[in-house]
Amino acid sequence: MPDTAPPTVLFVCVHNAGRSQMAAAFLTHLAGDRVQVRSAGSAPADTVNPAVVEALAEVGIDISAEVPKVLTVETVQASDVVITMGCGDTCPVFPGKRYLDWQLTDPAGQGIDAVRPIRDEIEYRIRGLIEEIAPAVQP
């Protein structure tokens, strides 16, 4: 077993109520302890989008207890990979970090029918990310 720490991934969107919550939940669900996962928002909402909670529940992921978190410089500094989803210039940039910007539709104010395709696109991207940064160990 390698003695290196798993990579840390931070998902950032404005409200930390939709896209970043879905991405963090999928990465946690699919990668387990192979990756440390964080999410935050530059201007966090009071609650996670109910349509997002419902869309993830449909695929067996419960985020009903999650709350939006504020983005801090320390959180970015403690992350290896920072994936932004529409946070614009509010995300601090530090040398040595890997940054990805995923252009995804904002689920804010959308119903479940509009959230499902966003959820599915996020799951697809998360599966690709896992293969890149934390592939499963083959026996």
Active-site entry in 10, 12, 13, 82? 13
The answer for 94, left when phi > 0, alpha when psi is -120 to 50, beta otherwise, is beta
120 is catalytic: no
Positive or negative CA dihedral for 122, 30, 132, 21? positive
Distance CA 66, CA 25 (A): 10
Burial class (CB in 10 A: 0-12, 13-18, 19+), 51: buried
Active-site entry in 35, 91, 115, 129? 91
91 is catalytic: yes
13 is catalytic: yes
Active-site entry in 82, 87, 126, 129? 87
User: Could you tell me where the beta strands, DSSP code E, fall in 73-134?
Assistant: 81-84, 98-101
Q: What value does the CA radius of gyration of the chain take, rounded to a whole number of Å?
A: 14
Give catalytic residues, as residue numbers: 13, 87, 91
